[in-house]
Chain A
Amino acid sequence: MAKYQCPDCGYIYDEATGNEHEGYEPGTRFEDLSDDFACPACFVRDKEDFALLEKSSLKK
């Protein structure tokens, strides 16, 4: 499981928790998010803009 961060607003997409409001189940991997995924906080950064923050010791 990994975390990815929006470079503009700092929102963190954590694969372990997903995003319940947006309909991404816990465990949804970042690469499995649709290509038109936009930051669910600021909406002005796209999937390709997100930066890998860290990978936990848990293996996928």
Chain B
Amino acid sequence: MKTVTFDSPAQGTISYVDKKRGLWWMSALYPLFPITGLVLHGLTGIELMLLVPMAAAYIFVPLFDYLLGEDLSNPPEEVVAQLEQDRYYSRLLYLAVPLHFITFFAAVYWIVTQDLSMAGYLILAVGTGMTSGLGINTGHELGHKTDPLSRLMAKIVLAVPGYGHFCLEHNAGHHRHVATPEDSASSKMGENIYAFALREIPGGFKRAWQLEKVRLQRKGKSMWSPSNELLQSYAITAIIQISLLIASGWMLLPFLIIHNFLAWWQLTSANYIEHYGLLREKKANGSYERCQPHHSWNSNHVFSNLLLYHLERHSDHHAHPTRHYQSLRNFDDVPALPNGYFGAYLMAYCPPIWFAVMNPRLLKLQHIQGDLSKVNILPGKREAMEQKYASLVVA
């Protein structure tokens, strides 16, 4: 256990031990987990074993979140600078990048060399895609850093599922406009995840290209210049995936399409649950109030947070986007998800369950208290929501 200390003139020496320090290896190594499915299949010859990593993610992670509960502890502010300078935490992020490639190539190898049934092929494509979606989370943490190495690593890991536009879209698009009706990556009350995906995936793509166009125009460069950072990441994707197709033939094409889409879908799932129905107030001058911790749904469930580099401490992340994962804080009285992200995704995939759980939770939030004018609501759904939740809505 490493102790961080700070000599405060007012409070004396402040000591802090990050109890999660060694546990962050879980986030770094989790990308390799799907390989267990290949190993089990290889050992037993039972194709269904390919399903084990996915089943574990969606059964055991929500269960462990439920059983292990929440971690509400925060590092003292005085030691945050030291925590963020500790290269150990960044190295764990860098480590995850090649691991995503290893899992992706291992799955491709398995598809090409094993005589899989249609079901086995689909399970492997979906499972590998979900893991590459996890890679978008790795790219997310890296992409918020300002040093060139982290940004390069983000571009590389986002290339696995062909989502190289994510960093720009997320940082300059989503963070700037989060919890407003204009943000394609903030879901609205009454909007189901499938309708949201049709708005979020093309919306993010379009916004990223618009932002990159403006940046390149300032530099006097064309959209098709090698300086285009979206194209740089897409080029890595194209080289890898086209080479694999040439080497393995068309039988790999459905795998690549399903894999890429499932990774994007993982991001859609995260975006869907992170700001559902939350709305920043519009000021008299037409701009929105600053993003506050209550503009994100938060989860302090310890197990899934350890698998996701603290992504679920989303309130602090949006209020202060450059804060590193190891120092993200819990805040009292912020919107809280009933389970970690894996459990919340399962609810979201079944819209009636999601609406039944989350709509009352949204309306009961301290800063909303039934006032629908403070909710990011799907246009045309207001009346239906007023009727359905009459006891919770304040006229």
Task: Give me the interface of A with B, judged by CB distance under 8 Å.
Answer: 8-9, 11, 22-24, 38, 41-46
Contact = CB atoms under 8 A, between A and B. Distances in A.
Nearest to A10: B322
Contacts of A23: 215-220
A6 to B, nearest CB: 9
Contacts of B319: 44
B359 interface: no
Interface in B182-240: 215-220
A24 B321 contact: no
Contact of A44 (B215, B217, B218, B290): B290
Interface string B134-155: 0000000000001000000000
12 contacts: A9-B321, A22-B215, A23-B216, A23-B218, A23-B219, A24-B218, A42-B320, A42-B321, A43-B171, A44-B175, A44-B176, A44-B318
Nearest to A48: B287
Given A11-B146, A23-B216, A43 B175 contact: yes
Contacts of B256: none
Nearest to B229: A21
Nearest to A9: B322
B262 interface: no
Contacts of B220: 23
A43 B321 contact: yes
Interface in B310-327: 318-322
A3 B165 CA distance: 30
Interface string B269-283: 000000000000000
B215 to A, nearest CB: 6
Interface residues of B, number: 19
Contacts of A9: 320-322
Contacts of B321: 9, 42-44
Identify the interface centre among A8, A9, A23, A24: most chain B CB within 10 Å of its CB.
Answer: A23
Contacts of B14: none
Contacts of B216: 23
A23 B219 CA distance: 5
Dominant secondary structure at the A interface? loop
B291 interface: yes
Interface string B34-50: 00000000000000000
B322 A41 contact: yes
B176 A43 contact: yes
A8, A11, A24, A46: residue with the most chain B Cβ atoms closer than 10 Å: A8
B172, B175, B215, B218 — most chain A CB neighbours (10 Å): B218
A23 to B, nearest CB: 3
Q: Which 9 A-B pairs have the closest CB atoms?
A: A23-B218, A23-B219, A9-B322, A42-B321, A43-B175, A42-B322, A43-B176, A41-B146, A43-B171
Contacts of A8: 320, 322
Contacts of A38: 172, 176
A38 B171 CA distance: 11
Nearest to A11: B146
A44 to B, nearest CB: 6
